[in-house]
Each structure stands twice: as C-alpha cells, then as structure tokens.
Amino acid sequence: MANIFPKWVNTVPIKVIVALLLIKTAIVLGITYYFSPQYTRVGYAPTQPVAFSHEFHAGTLEIDCRYCHTFVEQSGHSNVPGTNVCMSCHSMVLKDDARLATVRQSYDSGEPIPWVRVHKVPDYVYFNHAVHVNRGISCVECHGKVDEMEVVYHAKQLSMGFCLECSGKQIIIASDRPANEIDRLENRLISRFQWGLVTDIQPPDFETRLAILRNKASAMNLEINDEILYFLAERVSRNVRRMEGALTRIISYDALIDRKLDLASVENLLSDLLQEEVSAVISIDHIQKKVAEYYQISFSEILGRKRTNKIAFPRQVAMYLSRTLTNVPLKAIGDAFGGRDHGTVIHACKQVENMMEQDGTIKRSVDYLGNLITKNNS
C-alpha cells in the first residue's frame, strides 16, 4: 500500500511536543525573571565590593547621610562618596584593617570602587534629590530605614503610584513628543499617560514673548527701551527660560556699567547666546543637503550604506557638522543618517577632526561649509 503522506510527517508530533516544551520553559523563565528582585527591585540587595554597614555608621554612630552623600541638597543626584571621604576617618580608625584593603587601594590609585547601584528608577523618570531634601522629605521615605540595614537593599517600590501616594498631588509630565512616539516606552505606561489629559504646548509667539519680557522688566524695576525688548523677543525664541536669562544678564551688565544700554551693546553682550539660538535653528536635514550639494553627491547617498571614499567622507563631514552646529544628541544624529548608532557618529567626528589637523585644505573646506550653513540660518 502506497504512503499517502511523506515520511517527515511522522516526526511532526515530536516536533510539536518539543516546541510546546520550549515555549513553556521560556514562559516560566520569563515570569521568573520578571518577578525576580533584580526586576521589581524590592528586596534587591546586591553584593558590594566592600562590606559597608549602614546600620553601624548611620545607626550606631549616627553619622548624617549628608556627611558621605555630599551636595544632595544642591544636586539633582545623590553622589556615591569617594574613598577620600572614607579615609578622612579610616586614616586613623582601623587604618590597617583587612576589610578596608579595597578602600585603601582605591584611595592610593585613584581608581573608584565599582559599587553596585541599589536604587534605580526607569530612564524616563527624572527625580531631583535636592528638591525633595530641601522640602523636608527624609531619606527613609524613599530608601527605607537605612540606619537599620546591615546591607542596604531596595526597600520600597519606587513606582509612579508610590510617588502619587506620597505627594497626594497631580503629576505633570512634559516631553517633546507624544507618549506613543517615545522609543522603548512600555505599552502599559503609554496607556496610562494617554489616560490623562494630553495637550500640545507650542512655543510662545512673538507677541507673547514681548509681553513676558515687559512683565519681567517691570517686576525687576528695569527701564529698558522697546527696541531692545523687540530685539530679545525676536532673536531669543527657543524657550522662555533662555529669554529670562538674557534679560537677567542685561540687568546685571546695566548695574555694572551704570549707563543707558543701546542695541549694539546688548547684541555684543549676548553674542554667545544668540549664536546658540542660530545653532538651534539649524536642522540635520539642512546640513545633509548642503554637504551633499558641496561634494556633488545625492542626498540619498549621504543616508545610504555605500562606503566609497567619495561618499563616506562627505557623510562623515555631515555628521561632524551635525554634532558641532546643533545640540542634537549623538543617537538622534545617528538615526538621521540611516539609523546608524552613536558610536559611528563619534568615529566620524574623530576622523574629520584628525583630517582637519593634518590637512589644511580639508579644514578650510569644513570651516567654509560650517560658515555657509550658519550664515544661511542667521
């Protein structure tokens, strides 16, 4: 009797069973990892390179947290103390103790101790220590009773719900794009952000900027003519904080020279800030087009994958100018050049810098391009 089905069909049940087992194993491992201390962080207590007892130092000796974690009242971040802080005591106390060998070695060599971070919030969260500490919020509110911990561990779930429950207030989150367009943002967070009120805040127009400047000048009791206010409102347009900063600089200068300011003096005083405003207007797309036009290649070749010298060098120049003429992050520059990583951008910038040092012709060409691009945007 002839076989209706080919022989390989006989192995299908075995393959299905193996596939199901692999899927089940993957699910179990995924769940195990997802709910492990390293992921949820609560209870996470990594082994540190030096067995430092917070219970003894902060509890028994009652050393204030700020003695080691300096500048926490001024900085957004709580620093990890350097070994010079440790040695301020241990150069006299237990100075030959074997447990402090790593600390002494770090102090002598200048190499920092590779501490393992315990408390961590997601990358998209901005937490300012100084704001919280200066408002009287104790360290234990977020970090737990550290003075009772022999080994510091992640005591509380530092989630958005935790923050809301603590503050009892609404949280306003600002970003430069909608939540669903933010890279690597989890779907569960996107849905929660979209659950609230989402509104698009546009930069203030000229009339609004002028009104803000007049109100600020009036509040500061500054007599300033409309010509200068018009100049500021027109030329400093990136954001209100920079505009207020420019006004503050003018006030300080006016107090020093003790004479009436004119437009030429203001323009000279704010030259660096005005140049940054021009830089902010320059787009990577504009740089790419100007470079492609200068080197007589197509715009698509700048973004493409060809590595011939005729194309690769102009592409590197475009990356270099994008880095020096804009404030765009390296990753965003790489994305604008066909999805390249930031390492490629760094390499391109170094290559161009080296070639500019070695070859005056290349330096003049790159400088000319930079001036041309800047001039067209001023």
CA-closest candidate to residue 265, choices 275, 250, 279, 276: 250
Burial of 257 (0-12, 13-18, 19+ CB in 10 A): exposed
Q: What is the pLDDT of residues 350-365, one digit of tens each?
A: 999 889 888 888 888 8
Give the span between the Cα atoms of 56 and 146, in whole angstroms.
Answer: 10
Q: What is the pLDDT of residues 217-251, one digit of tens each?
A: 888 777 777 888 888 887 777 677 778 788 888 77
H helix runs in 196-283, sequence order: 206-219, 226-235, 240-257, 263-269, 271-281
- Asked if residues 118 and 45 have their Cβ atoms less than 8 Å apart, the reply is yes
CATH fold of 283-377 = Chromosomal Replication Initiator Protein Dnaa; Chain: A; (1.10.1750)
What is the arithmetic mean of pLDDT over 6-20?
Answer: 74
CATH fold of 206-280 = Helicase, Ruva Protein; domain 3 (1.10.8)
Half-sphere exposure of 1 (CA within 13 A, CB side): 2
Neighbours of 119 (CB within 10 A): 17
Q: What is the pLDDT of residues 17-76, one digit of tens each?
A: 888 888 888 776 665 544 444 445 788 888 899 888 889 888 888 888 888 887 788 777
Provide the pLDDT for residue 315: 93
> Has residue 258 got a pLDDT over 70?
no
Q: How far is CA 206 from CA 126, 215, 225, in A?
A: 31, 14, 17
Q: Name residue 181's amino acid.
A: E
Domain boundary assignment for the chain: 7-40, 54-167, 171-201, 206-280, 283-377
| Lowest-pLDDT choice from 22-26, 126-130, 167-171 | 167-171
List phi, psi (to 5°) of 148: -115, 10
Q: What is the pLDDT of residues 321-359, one digit of tens each?
A: 988 888 788 888 989 998 888 888 989 999 998 898 888
Residue with tokens 């060409």: 365
